[in-house]
Amino acid sequence: MNWIILIIAGLFEVAFASCLGKAKETTGTEAIWWYAGFLVSLIISMLLLIKATQTLPIGTAYAVWTGIGAVGTAIMGMLFFKDPASFWRVFFLSTLIGSIIGLKFVSH
């Protein structure tokens, strides 16, 4: 169950990074809403990370959490923020996904 909580925490990390990207592109009230989304996503992500680390090793949990955030944010950037999707970028994101899965399998 804590692996599921950790994955959800990682997805909220993607959400708070994406909210920052959108806030940067907007002004006024719309930017304030994106910053509010950032704060809510950040709080939820941190609380879920804390919950997951109650039974998972902290080093593994943190590596998986940041990995999900990095991969998810990079994919969001390619899909919504016009970040480049070069072969090498996708290749190394794939190796990062493989590393995240590997950490799950070698953790107790």
pTM of the model: 0.87
pLDDT given for residue 23 in this prediction:
93
Assign 38 to helix, strand or coil.
helix
Q: Give just the sign of the alpha carbon dihedral 33, 72, 41, 24.
A: negative
Other CB atoms within 10 Å distance of the CB of residue 104: 14
How large is the average pLDDT for residues 50-72?
94
Dihedral over Cα of 27, 11, 65, 89: its sign? negative
The yes-or-no verdict on residue 34 having pLDDT over 90 is yes
Q: What is the mean pLDDT of residues 97-108?
A: 86
Q: Using CB atoms within 10 A of its CB, is residue 28 exposed (0-12), middle (13-18) or buried (19+)?
A: exposed
Q: Which domain holds residue 47?
A: 2-106
pLDDT classification of 107: cutoffs 50, 70, 90: confident
pLDDT of residue 22: 92
The answer to whether the CB of 79 falls within 8 A of the CB of 14 is no
The total number of structural domains in the chain stands at 1
The pLDDT confidence band at residue 104, using thresholds 50, 70 and 90, is confident
